Amino acid sequence: MQNESAHLQEMIFTGCGLLPFARIEDIPGTRDWRFITGEIDTPALPETDIYELEWSGKGPMGREIPHKWRCYLDRDKNLPLRIERYAFDDLTGDYELETIITADYPERDAFEAVAAQVISTP
C-alpha cells in the first residue's frame, strides 16, 4: 500500500505525467528553464505561452544525456494544453520530438456533477 501511495502522490504532483518532475529539486544535473513564446509559430494553439525545460542527467553508462520538455500553456486559464517531450539524437546532434500529450478539460458543469457524485458516494 505504501508503494501505491507514493506512486499516486507522484502522479498527482506531476499532473498525471504532464510535468517531467514533481519538484524543481528533482531535476538532475544542469537545467535551463525558458519562456519561448514568440520564437515558435503556433497557429493551432493561439493565446498560449510556451515554456521549455532542458536538463541533463546521467545515463546508465554514466554519460550525460540531454532532455527537453516543452509546455504550451493556456494564457487565460493557466492550464497546459500540449506537452512535448524530446529525445537527443547523437547522430544529428539535435533533439527529435518523441512524445506529444494533449490535454482536454471538461466544462465546469460536467466536472461539478462528477465531483458531487464522488462526494456523495459512501
CA atoms of 26 and 114, how far apart (whole Å): 33
What pLDDT, in 10s, does the model give residues 38-82?
A: 777 777 888 899 999 998 888 778 888 899 999 999 999 888 899
Mean pLDDT estimate for the chain:
81
Strands in 48-58's sheet, in edge-to-edge order, are 31-35, 48-58, 64-74, 80-89, 94-102
pTM score = 0.71
- Domain boundary assignment for the chain: 2-120
What pLDDT, in 10s, does the model give residues 64-73?
A: 889 999 999 9
Alpha carbon of residue 48 to chain centroid: 15
CA atoms of 44 and 48, how far apart (whole Å): 10
